[in-house]
Amino acid sequence: EAGVTQFPSHSVIEKGQTVTLRCDPISGHDNLYWYRRVMGKEIKFLLHFVKESKQDESGMPNNRFLAERTGGTYSTLKVQPAELEDSGVYFCASSRAQGSSTEAFFGQGTRLTVV
């Protein structure tokens, strides 16, 4: 079974440009989560999809961030326009169900650098 995969693994863009990150969850996992770790800080929750619906987007920093999950399969996270403080590692995770006993599997992350 393939794990959670994220593309690209690294991205370097200039301030003001647009970047789109992609996450392919484990097949059959309805729940998909985006997290972000900025330099020197803890990993923070961004949002949660259940299938194609946004269940919780309370962690999204501002309206420059747009997440989609059309068809309930892969998800994209677009940052437009990117700012310097958006630099960090963006993780995607997926799980089959919700609840404390459910394991969420993480992708390897996308390291975004805005210069």
Partner 1 sequence: TQLLEQSPQFLSIQEGENLTVYCNSSSVFSSLQWYRQEPGEGPVLLVTVVTGGEVKKLKRLTFQFGDARKDSSLHITAAQPGDTGLYLCAGDRNNQGGKLIFGQGTELSVKP
- Residues forming contacts to partner 1 in the complex (CB under 8 A) are 4, 9, 31, 33, 35, 41-45, 48, 56, 91, 93-95, 97-109
Beta strands at 44-50 and 31-37: parallel, antiparallel or unpaired: antiparallel
Measured from the CB atom, the residue of 7 and 105 that comes closer to partner 1 is 105
Do residues 50 and 29 lie in contact, with contact meaning Cβ atoms separated by under 8 Å? no
CB of 58 to partner 1, least distance (A): 9
Q: Give the residue from 3, 19, 2, 29 showing the smallest Cα distance to 111.
A: 19
End-to-end CA distance of the chain: 37
Cβ at position 93, least distance to partner 1 in Å: 6
Write down the least CB distance from residue 84 to partner 1, Å. Answer: 22
Nearer to partner 1, 80 or 102 (CB): 102
Determine how many CB atoms are found less than 10 A away from the CB of residue 9: 11
Shorter beta-carbon distance to partner 1: residue 11 or 31: 31
In the bound state with partner 1, the residue whose beta carbon lies nearer, of 37 and 81, is: 37
Least gap, CB of 95 to partner 1 (angstroms): 5
Closest CA to 76 of 110, 113, 27, 114: 110
